[in-house]
Amino acid sequence: MRLAVTEEQRELRDALRRFFADRSPATEVRRLMAVDEGYDPAVWKQMAGQLGLQGLAVPEEHGGAGFGFRELAVVFEEMGRALVCAPFLATTVAAAALLAGEGGHDLLPGIADGTVIATLAVAEERGLWDPAAVEATVEGGLLRGAKAFVLDGHLADLLVVAAREEDGSVGLYVVDGHAEGLTRTLVPTLDQTRRLARIGLDGVPGRRVGGEDALARALDVAAVALAAEQLGGAERTLEMTVEYAKVRRQFGRPIGSFQAVKHRCADMFVLVESARSAVLNAAAVVDEAPGGLPAAAALAKAYCSDAFVHTAGEAIQLHGGIGFTWEHDAHLYFKRAQASRQLFGTPDRHRERLGALAGITGGAEAP
């Protein structure tokens, strides 16, 4: 597998960094944190119309650009750096579920052109991203139950819902976001840059688009996408800290000249670059070696979660008193790191998966 970054991917990174610097500066992130929608529809349209991001990894026959997950990982990394407030992760994960299934390909053109916001609803009140924990049911094409921690579920035009079928297996069902019997409740979150909702299902009609295999792949793709976003956030917190250490003076010299500060910044750098290797490997596996995806996704999500939490915490500590204030952006990254750590399975859960896949523990293989 090719793990090197290509010139085209570097150009994509540069273009995205300029775009998000202009459209998602810290002032805009803070503005969007205060509105219920949690995103700017005008920027969402620009992402689709000018950059083609929503359809980047959607096959051309379904209205997309036909690129691979490597390119999509670059997008998530840059979004993580800028704390972009948009339903991009939710929509991408839903698209992955539809691509992995057999019955929802007709919905992909709307996702690719940005006219449809979608999301995947799996976890329930216990917060487990595990098919074995699904309790919502489907009978006669009608879904009943509730879903929790649904990314951007308050505004999604369509939801891909995991529900237990009459034979005990779990299937994926597409539900209209405005269907009768569906209720959506926006819930308060630690990370105010990302919206989560609780979804109620009371006899909501759904169309089957896939089974457990499609759900498992979608969750693995989601874990890799989130790992790439965490890498971007970790990289940015390292940069913020190094920049501050160069200009903050104590005892007549920059604090970056003190050995203890140097060591902590060096440890952050090692974590970021190791996380980058995990993401590059996992993204390549998504494109070229689907059989190795469960292990690669679990490794990337577990490592990048811990790396981001550590670097975000160090950023606050090494910024000193200013790092704890509302005015400084360090706390925004810290909250994103803590919340992302729980999403799509905790690091401990993914390490259990790795052990099970290696045959050295009895843990479950699902996130």
CA distance 56 to 67: 6
Average pLDDT over residues 337-353: 94
Q: Tens digits of per-residue pLDDT, 276-305?
A: 999 999 999 999 998 999 999 999 999 999
Q: Tens digits of per-residue pLDDT, 202-260?
A: 999 999 999 999 999 999 999 999 999 999 999 999 999 999 888 787 888 887 778 88
CA distance 334 to 312: 5
Q: Tens digits of per-residue pLDDT, 23-79?
A: 999 999 999 999 989 999 999 999 999 999 999 999 999 999 999 999 999 999 999
Q: Tens digits of per-residue pLDDT, 131-156?
A: 899 999 999 999 999 999 999 999 99
Paired strand residues for 183: 200
The pLDDT score that the predictor gives to residue 221 is 96
Pairing of strands 170-176, 137-139: unpaired
Q: Does 367 have pLDDT greater than 80?
A: no
Report the CATH fold assignment for 118-211. Butyryl-CoA Dehydrogenase, subunit A; domain 2 (2.40.110)
CA distance 237 to 221: 25
Q: Does 185 have pLDDT greater than 70?
A: yes
Residue spans in the chain of domains classed CATH 1.20.140.10: 214-358
Average pLDDT over residues 103-111: 93
Average pLDDT over residues 107-122: 95
Residue spans in the chain of domains classed CATH 1.10.540.10: 7-112
CA distance 287 to 295: 14
The pLDDT score that the predictor gives to residue 251 is 85
Task: Look at phi and psi of residue 83 and say left if phi exceeds 0, alpha if psi is from -120 to 50, else beta.
Answer: left
Residue tagged 């139950």 (tokens): 145
Record the tokens describing residue 264, joined without a space: 């902590």
* CATH 1.10.540.10 corresponds to the domain 7-112: yes
Asked if 195 and 186 count as a contact pair (C-beta separation under 8 A), the reply is yes
Record the tokens describing residue 306, joined without a space: 């811990």
Average pLDDT over residues 264-287: 95
Residue spans in the chain of domains classed CATH 2.40.110.10: 118-211
Q: For residue 87, give Cα distances in angstroms to 11, 40, 120, 239, 256.
A: 24, 10, 11, 26, 38
CATH for 214-358? Answer: 1.20.140.10
Record the tokens describing residue 311, joined without a space: 């670097």
Which of 123, 321, 143 has the alpha carbon at shortest distance from 215?
Answer: 123
The pLDDT score that the predictor gives to residue 270 is 97
pLDDT band at 363 (very low <50, low <70, confident <90, very high): low
**3-state class (DSSP) for residue 163:** strand
